[in-house]
Amino acid sequence: MVSRKKQPELTAEEKLLQALVPEAEQPYKIPDNWCWTRLEFVARGFQYGYTEKASLEKIGPKYIRISDINNGNVDYINAPYCKIIDEDFLKYELRRGDILIARMGSVGINGMFLDDIKAVFASYLIRIIPMINNKYLSNFLQTDFYWNQIEDSAQGTTRLNVNANILKKLKIPCPPLVEQQRIVERIEILFGKLDEAKEKLQNTLDTFETRKAAILHKAFTGELTANWRKQHGLTMDSWEEKTLNDIASYKKGPFGSSITKAMFVPKTANTYKVYEQGNVIRKDLTYGHYYITSEKYQELKGFSVKAGDILISCAGTIGEVYKLPPECEEGVINQALMRVRLNQNIIEGYFCYYFGEIIKDDVIDKSNGTAMKNIPPFKVLKAIQIKLPTINEQTEIVRIVDNLLAKEQQAHNIAQNALAKIDLIKKSILARAFRGQLATNNPADEPAVELLKRVL
């Protein structure tokens, strides 16, 4: 039997040379007292998780899965318990400061375990035990630079996967240990301020419908125009109780057998559009591509629509309101819509606001159908009451509501855009942090290569 020759042990200098990334391979410039290395030299472990199944029974340790990792932390409270514990359990027991990385699909997900409880981790996670500041490493594993290295390692495959060998070879900028802590503290301060702003912005979005409803409630109880009535010598006695039957004529779409897909033809100069619920729900004139011939249009002319007609959705998503604009195509409504043509005692804007926000809930309550809700029968619908001020006051109400809702929508859009930018700002902060650009670096700190020597 031929014995294998034992490889000589590397000297400290050779180990350091092996750990440092050659200058030609360094991805970008970092401060002089930092160094480029690879993950295998600043972490150990790279261990795959426990293969037992989760259980709802409260026995054994907690069982940490990808779904239990949120915003870089491990949520053990909602994690299930491990079903079976064998003699190898201790190999997979998590310790404070361990970092878990998803092995496949969502490889950008990572979390740090910060709890002194019994827990093991699932087989589709990899445990890393840092030998540098664990929060510094956890933050690095959330950067686009880390993600890009993982994508590069995919080598053309559609599903991203990581394993211990891939992780070990990842390049990582390594600052002095005290600088790592300063970077972590600066990131936490900046992220804390962003999270506070995010919470306020989200509250603006979450309360948008509530604020909108409050404006419309004030509009249709006369509160918004109280001063206007006083200036014009009017009181709330000028408001009349009417029914929907008093203010408009209504036409539901034809029976389903009157319009079927077999009747649809390609759009030409002599065809007519079939309006669908999608036009009303999306408030989009261009939605849909169903057309009928001029002969079929003549048959269904009783269901025709024109500019200024108000359409209301009648099935499933009921009570949505849409006024056809001047540029609309000639056409007919399908069986899921209702056409409304107003009398002279009500203006379009008032009706649309009132029906879309006030009467809509009443319509839904009175709707028939179980799994699929439908607009109530005309006998029920036309009897629904509406409070009607004078035409001039209706005009004033619409003007005020238009202005207030426009401001609310503007605030909503600003909050939405700002919220979308917060994640980009966080990415920018992380990118700058790992380039030494957060104004935390002290050139007098012990060079990171000394730290690397000790780790090695």
List of residues 6+ apart from 323 with CB closer than 8 A: 308, 309, 310, 311, 348, 352
The whole-model pTM stands at: 0.73
Cα–Cα distance, 212 to 48 (Å, whole number) = 52
Cα–Cα distance, 391 to 383 (Å, whole number) = 22
Among residues 186, 133, 132, the alpha carbon closest in space to that of 19 is found at 132
**Residues 177/129, Cβ–Cβ less than 8 Å:** no
**pLDDT at residue 365 in the model:** 65
How many CB atoms are located within 10 Å of the residue 158 CB? 5
Strand pairing category for 385-388 and 272-275: unpaired
Cα–Cα distance, 327 to 272 (Å, whole number) = 14
| Regions of the chain with pLDDT less than 50 | none
Strand pairing category for 337-342 and 291-292: unpaired
**pLDDT at residue 124 in the model:** 83
Cα–Cα distance, 446 to 31 (Å, whole number) = 12
SS3 98: coil
Place of tokens 């389903």: 256
For 90-117, the pLDDT digits (tens) are: 788 888 888 888 886 555 556 777 666 7
Look up residue 99 and give its amino acid: I
Cα–Cα distance, 341 to 351 (Å, whole number) = 11
List of residues 6+ apart from 94 with CB closer than 8 A: 64, 74, 100, 113, 119, 120, 121, 127
**pLDDT at residue 180 in the model:** 96
**pLDDT at residue 3 in the model:** 55
Cα–Cα distance, 34 to 435 (Å, whole number) = 10
Cα–Cα distance, 251 to 366 (Å, whole number) = 18
Cα–Cα distance, 336 to 316 (Å, whole number) = 9
SS3 content of the chain, % helix, strand, coil (to 5): 40, 20, 40
- Sheet hosting strand 337-342, strand order edge to edge: 248-252, 337-342, 310-313, 321-323
**Residues 387/381, Cβ–Cβ less than 8 Å:** no
Cα–Cα distance, 101 to 126 (Å, whole number) = 5
For 327-382, the pLDDT digits (tens) are: 999 999 999 999 999 999 999 999 999 888 777 766 666 655 555 567 788 888 89
Q: What is the largest CA-CA distance in the chain?
A: 114
**pLDDT at residue 259 in the model:** 87
What single string gives the DSSP state of each residue in 402-435? HHHHHHHHHHHHHHHHHHHHHHHHHHHHHHHHTT
Cα distances from 240 to residues 228, 399, 417, in angstroms, run 17, 20, 43
Q: Is the dihedral of CA 319, 395, 279, 416 positive or negative?
A: negative
318 DSSP assignment: -
SS3 364: helix
